[in-house]
A and B are shown apart, each in its own frame.
Chain A
Amino acid sequence: MGIKPNSENNSSTGGDIRIKSGREGLMGWLNPTRYGWERVSYWLQRLTGVGLLIYFIGHIYETSSLVNGINAWNSMLELTQTTGGHIFLLLVIGASTFHTVNGLRLIFTESGIGIGRPGRPDYPYDATSLNYKQKSGIWVALLLATIAMLYGGMVMFGDVN
């Protein structure tokens, strides 16, 4: 009698015992609030990264309209002058600021800098790597993204030039 792991999401026979994959897949990412700030940062870094990639492709499409003449270029620019266009640009400002600042934090932490040193763990076993020094990088990234979005909003919707 034996069991055999199955990576598919359907139940199957592995030896004598039927088992089913319990892998969370992308569904596991839907709620980033279960494991602390680092998981939220991981989720936002992915989300803003994918968002900025989509923006980058759209930006190339937008600027390439210049080859069709000045009218095509102007009509493309008009899209960004609407309320929806302004909100979209605000999201781009927020996403790029957060992604850059949090990315700098990740360059350091993923190189082993600012995450502490190994030692003898004592109850209640607070993890050294989840320290406030590196965690504050997430808060700074969120704060700067908010400030950048507020300033962008004032420029686009208000009187600031």
Chain B
Amino acid sequence: MWIRMSEETKKIKLKVYRTNYNKEESPHYDEFDVSVKRWTTVLDALLDAKSYSDSSLGIRYSCRMASCGSCGMKINGRPRLACYTKISELNDQTIVCDPLPNFPRIRDLVTDFTEFFAHHKKIEPYIQNERVPIDVVKNDDLVEFKQTPEDVDKYLQFSYCIKCGLCYSACPTVATDTKFPGPQALSQAYRYTADNRDTGEPSRFNIIDERHGIWRCHFAGSCSSVCPKGVDPALGIQLLKGHLIGITKNDKKIATLRSKEE
């Protein structure tokens, strides 16, 4: 059976934050009238304004399907992905788009992620396993680790992170402490702690257990409420704190290697 989709269009006002520091342009809002349908996303509306009203509008985007994490911005007061936010769900005639808070601004809605990625890299976001024999690594003999589906479930949701930066921009601690790694990096630290292929806990704990580290998180939960992929960074961070103070048991059994012959 075909479902008849509403073709009804309506006009909304798009208010977009504009600035260009290279031209000494002071920050202001430009307004665009855009025709939208029920399924029009904020990114669609912005691209409409860019195509037909002002081609100089600065936006970053790529996949248009909430996979690349490029189009994060503050939409009507909350950090969201523009491609994942339908205008109809905002229930507002005026849509206000600002650059993501807590990120350095480059131009219009485009922000700089250098610092954000530096925090991510600092927590060593890769499998470290000292039990893998050196000759296996050298000869490229390693086939795979043995993991059960239950082992995977312990970290899978945290590996869905697309590094869109929404959690980082919603965090009140990031807003006031430049050295705080932020919810994204800390939840990735938990992701590798929970992964039974990894033995890098001592090294990672040394990085996050410091003055501007994990203890600056006070469970405001804003990171989890804005995450578009269900990563729930607040959950990972609190569980990691439990591990650090020894309340939550870490019963992980390090995965064994499956050789080529097996």
Interface positions of A (Cβ within 8 A of B): 3-7, 11, 17-26, 28-29, 31, 34-39, 41-42, 45, 106, 109-113, 115-116, 118-123, 125-130
How far apart sit A47 and B221, CA to CA, in the bound complex (Å)? 17
Residues of A within 8 Å of B156, CB to CB, are: 118, 120
Residues of B216-247 at the interface with A, using a CB-CB cut-off of 8 Å, are: 217-222, 224-232, 234-236, 238-243, 245, 247
Binds A, one of B120-128, B168-176, B200-208, B253-261: B168-176
How distant is A91 from chain B, measured CB to nearest CB, in Å? 22
Would A118 and B153 count as touching, CB distance under 8 A? Answer: yes
How far apart sit A102 and B50, CA to CA, in the bound complex (Å)? 48
Would A29 and B112 count as touching, CB distance under 8 A? Answer: no
Interface positions of B (Cβ within 8 A of A): 19, 21-22, 77-78, 99-106, 111-112, 114-115, 153-158, 160, 170, 172, 174-176, 178, 194, 217-222, 224-232, 234-236, 238-243, 245, 247-248
How distant is A104 from chain B, measured CB to nearest CB, in Å? 13
Residues of A within 8 Å of B241, CB to CB, are: 110-112
How distant is A43 from chain B, measured CB to nearest CB, in Å? 8
Residues of B within 8 Å of A123, CB to CB, are: 230
Q: Which residue of A lies closest to B247 (CB)?
A: A111
How far apart sit A130 and B220, CA to CA, in the bound complex (Å)? 10
How distant is A27 from chain B, measured CB to nearest CB, in Å? 8
How far apart sit A143 and B224, CA to CA, in the bound complex (Å)? 25
How distant is B56 from chain A, measured CB to nearest CB, in Å? 16
Residues of B within 8 Å of A115, CB to CB, are: 234-235, 238-239
Residues of A within 8 Å of B218, CB to CB, are: 42, 45, 106, 110
Would A112 and B104 count as touching, CB distance under 8 A? Answer: no
18 A-B pairs whose Cβ atoms sit less than 8 Å apart in the complex: A3-B106, A18-B22, A23-B176, A25-B176, A35-B226, A38-B219, A39-B220, A42-B220, A106-B218, A106-B219, A109-B238, A121-B229, A126-B230, A127-B230, A127-B234, A128-B235, A130-B221, A130-B232
Q: Which residue of A lies closest to B177 (CB)?
A: A23
How far apart sit A144 and B236, CA to CA, in the bound complex (Å)? 30
Specify which of B99, B104, B227 is in contact with A6 (CB 8 Å cutoff): B104
Would B102 and A24 count as touching, CB distance under 8 A? Answer: yes
Q: Which residue of A lies closest to B156 (CB)?
A: A120
Would A18 and B21 count as touching, CB distance under 8 A? Answer: yes
Would B155 and A22 count as touching, CB distance under 8 A? Answer: no
Residues of A within 8 Å of B236, CB to CB, are: 118
Would B176 and A26 count as touching, CB distance under 8 A? Answer: yes
How far apart sit A42 and B219, CA to CA, in the bound complex (Å)? 7
Q: Which residue of A lies closest to B103 (CB)?
A: A22
Would A112 and B242 count as touching, CB distance under 8 A? Answer: yes
